[in-house]
Amino acid sequence: MSHPNRQLHFNSCIDHLDLAWRIAGDMPSRLFDMRQLEERAQLAEKGLMDAMFIADFYTYRPGFSLEPIALLSALSTVTRHIGLIASVSTTYNEPYNLARMFAGLDRLSNGRAGWNMVTTAIGTVAANYSRDEHLEHDTRYERAHEVIEVVTALWDSLDEDALSCTPEGMLHASPGNVPALDHRGKWFEVQGPLDIPRPIQGSPVRMQAGSSQAGRDFGARWAEVIFTAQPVLSIAQEFYADIRRRMAAFGRTPDQLNILPGLMPIVAKTRTEAEALLAARQGAGENAGARMKEMVGIDLSQLPPDEPIPLDLLPEQGFTNGMRGRSDLYLDMIRKHRLTPRQVLQQGAHLAFAGTPLETADLISEWFTGFACDGFTLMWPSLEANILFVEEVVPILQRRGFYRTRYAGTTLRDHFGLARPDNRRFAAKGH
């Protein structure tokens, strides 16, 4: 497998300073301060990163909870190049609203919008949306397929030249260029067309974050970026190859998708400092046992902490109705690496690495050249680590020829090397 022109891609998480209060000098209370958010976006842009990424959970949790589209719309006015990717649920939104939100963000940002197409893993969300229960895991993906089909059709519901400017400067659409969509499916009936011109990118970049079997198929079919939890190199390589195989089954080629596992780079000037920062974060495991019981199906606290977990106690596969892909990942890690309860409880779902800038660059290079990833979704442990990464890790990767030295284009599709999709609806009609 040879890709001589491959280059690293980085998404920068704007919402992951969850334990910053444990690090002296950090100020998590400023997470609602627009000035700090602006500084972090501009820092990521200085580092030539592909996009800022914000997750969303649709329910109360301690920490960050600004609504993503509103935040990214504001950040689009203080940045010029960096992409803007928001998690917005396919389970708790209607396709017409989704199509409008992301077409609008793409227009406001001049072609820098991306959509993380989450099905929502947290069951308590249902009670916030007048529902008695959360949809079953695979059913959420069934609904999501139709959501994407309808949203894409809505983005394509206006021809590229459907709008013209009147002498008074008003945009006008001729009736023949705005036919109804008239979608009738299992989940949705949508008349259309969309009331916003086609997105500048044709389609905002589509990102996906599920790693269950249903999630992998969904990502292989629809996603152009995959955000995944892969803390072990060998398992990440297997995931990477599996997604490529599934893509081929959907008639897609490797250049149509980038796989970006989560990485928390705990970067410091010296290894000793980095390890101290890692230790400062590790007091947050109060609820790790309960979370892990949900993931692996057994109470690890009742087992000898430093003996391999008996395999006959494990379920055959993940059964949680939430993050089933995450559950499967842990079970796979335990079986293949014969982990102990202590190792599992200390292992975060995402890769965390404590080291110097050079050591961090070496790790990234190893995963990239080993086809475990196409880059990383960076989850910052502190503002200082963010700054060090941009100022010291990025130049090392540039000298190695793995990372861009300038933005080559203006849209998020340009950054990821993705083609602008044709308007399928009007191309089919010979327009």
| Residue 80 in this model has a pLDDT that exceeds 60 | yes
> Which residues are registered as beta bridge partners of 71?
none
Residue 352, pLDDT score: 87
Task: Name the residue type at position 8.
Answer: L
> Which residues are registered as beta bridge partners of 262?
377
| Residue 1 in this model has a pLDDT that exceeds 90 | no
From residue 204, give the alpha-carbon distance in Å to each of 101, 105, 420.
11, 9, 9
> Which residues are registered as beta bridge partners of 378?
12, 263
Residue 2, pLDDT score: 39
Mean pLDDT of 410-416: 98
9-271+352-424: CATH superfamily = Luciferase-like domain (3.20.20.30)
User: Within a 10 A sphere around the Cβ of 312, how many other Cβ atoms?
Assistant: 5
| Residue 322 in this model has a pLDDT that exceeds 70 | no
Residue 62, pLDDT score: 63
> Which range, of 212-226, 329-343, 345-359, averages the lowest pLDDT?
329-343
Q: Which of 130, 113, 144 is nearest to 51 (CA)?
A: 113
Mean pLDDT of 337-346: 69
Q: Which of 1, 416, 405 is nearest to 226 (CA)?
A: 416
Residue 356, pLDDT score: 97
**Residue by residue, what is the 3-state secondary structure of 22-50?**
HCCCCCHHHHHCHHHHHHHHHHHHHCCCC
Per-residue pLDDT reduced to its tens digit, 91-143: 889 999 999 999 999 999 999 999 999 998 778 888 888 988 888 888 999 99
From residue 53, give the alpha-carbon distance in Å to each of 187, 250, 281, 353.
29, 27, 22, 20
pTM strictly above 0.95: no
| Residue 172 in this model has a pLDDT that exceeds 90 | no
Residue 296, pLDDT score: 72
pLDDT bin (cut points 50, 70, 90) of residue 163 is low
Tell me which residue has tokens 């990214």: 72
**d(C-alpha 173, C-alpha 319), whole Å:** 50
> Which residues are registered as beta bridge partners of 265?
353
Residue 390, pLDDT score: 98
Per-residue pLDDT reduced to its tens digit, 150-161: 999 999 988 776
Phi, psi of 348 (to 5 degrees): -75, 160
Both tokens assigned to 260: 């970006």
CA angle at 240 for the pair 150 and 390, rounded to the nearest 5°? 90
Residue 164, pLDDT score: 57
Q: Break the chain into its structural domains and give their ranges.
A: 9-271+352-424
Mean pLDDT of 389-410: 98
CA angle at 232 for the pair 228 and 236, rounded to the nearest 5°? 50
Longest dimension (CA), the chain: 79
| Residue 357 in this model has a pLDDT that exceeds 80 | yes
Handedness of CA 317, 319, 320, 323 (dihedral sign): positive
